Structure 1
Amino acid sequence: MTTNDDFQKKYSKVWTRKINRYYDDRGHFLEHFRQNQAIDIDVNFVQDSVSFSHKNVLRGLHIQENQWQLSTLLRGSVRYFVLDVDPKSSDYLKLHILDLSTEGTSQVLAAPGVAHGFFAESSEVVMAYKTSTYYDDSLQYGINFSSFSDLNITFGNSIRSIRDMKFVGLTKILSNEKFNEFQSRII
């Protein structure tokens, strides 16, 4: 693959880009993925998924073993969170916040070992995902946002899934033997 100048490396394992949208009287058109314009990585995306969220929905933080994920904001605006859990990374355990909108940066590529989630700021959010592995609940982990209370991130009356609310905090997951084994296998 050739390198696309539109992708910018934000952190050690995270790239972002602004997608061109072409507007006319009918609406608009965009290309959210072109194999020959991806960054120079050896990845084969095998599953596409889409989430639809209302204002104040909080999703994540989610991570699946050895999965690349390309997240594309199709509608709305979000605060997008990435947390590198790869002990070999220079960004290990650093939580980064990206403001995504359809007018600005709207795409995030995360390498294996990066947990992610978002908070829906607009009334409607549509997010598309391309992943390099099929969804497998047995290979998924989650980290509760309450782990980052020291950063003074507030979500007001956020709407969360029962599953996401049950995620343990960062300290607890880092002491989990199964999670530690997962960390040792990050590619």
Structure 2
Amino acid sequence: MRIEPTALDGVLLFQPTPSRDERGLFTRTFDATVARRAGLDPHQFVQDSQSRSHQGAIRGLHGRSGRGEAKLVRCARGAVHDVLVDARPSSPTFGKHIAVRLDDSDFAHLYVPPGLLHGFQALTEHADVCYRIDREHDPTEDISVRYDDPELGIAWPLPVSVISARDLAAGSWADLVAVLPS
């Protein structure tokens, strides 16, 4: 498994090497030794979650206040346009975002450190996204920014087919920046 840094400080892309033959394929989706080699404590992850989305649906941009949360994100079925926004005021990449295609062909997954916003758009008829998270969910710490905030200027590849009322009601990037601790 290769580990590649990204344009956002602390975000890592894990690239497994699936074995393919006439039966299909086999790939490792998590390896504690590889995690340790990347500087992660494999025991930090306490919760696994999964979502299923329909083509064009957007989930996000979501994050956590307080000490945030770290997570490993991968697409187990289909493909997504995965977006991360750096919301850490002290980060050299604060306010910047990246987009990565995650899919069930390459099986790449992202390490998302605490303090980033995360969202994605389903690119296929169905897309299953799996999250390995280092903290139990506390809804009082949820933060969000609208997916179409003009200051962020995120280019979503498909027309939006579905978005939750919660995500439509999310605040702006400027609103979030105003309340972030410096």
Which TM-score bucket, shorter chain as reference? Answer: 0.7 to 0.9
Match for residue 9 of structure 1 among 1, 5, 8: 5
Q: CA deviation at 1:149?
A: 6.5
Worse-superposed segment, 18-27 or 94-103: 18-27
Contact residue 57 and residue 122 of structure 2 kept, 8 A: yes
Query: Within 5 Å, which residues of 2 pair with 1:41-120?
Result: 41-42=40-41, 44-65=44-65, 66-104=68-106, 106-120=108-122
Matched, 1:170 2:173: yes
**How far is the alpha carbon of 1:173 from its aligned partner?**
1.9
Letter in 2 for 1:17: F
The amino acid of 1:51's aligned partner reads S
Unaligned runs of 5+ in 2: none
Determine if the alignment matches structure 1 residue 29 to structure 2 residue 32: no
Question: SS state of the match for residue 151, structure 1?
Answer: coil
Structure 1 residues 54 and 83: alpha-carbon distance in aligned structure 2, compared to 1, 3 A threshold: same
Higher alpha-carbon deviation: 61-70 or 48-57:
61-70
Equivalent residue for 1:40?
A: 39
The one-letter amino acid of 1:166's match is A
Give the match for residue 160 of structure 2.
157
TM-score, with structure 2 as normaliser: 0.86
Q: Distance in 2 between matches of 1:83 and 1:77?
A: 20
* Cα RMSD after superposing both structures: 2.0
Deviates more, 1:63-72 or 1:125-134: 63-72
Instruction: Give the distance between the partners of 1:76 and 1:117, measured in 2 at CA.
Output: 16
Report Cα offsets for 1:113-154 as digits up to 9, x if no partner: 111110111111111100000011111101111213773724
In 1, the alpha carbon distance for the partners of 2:107 and 2:91 equals: 24
Q: Among the aligned pairs, what percent are the same residue?
A: 24
The count of aligned residue pairs is: 175
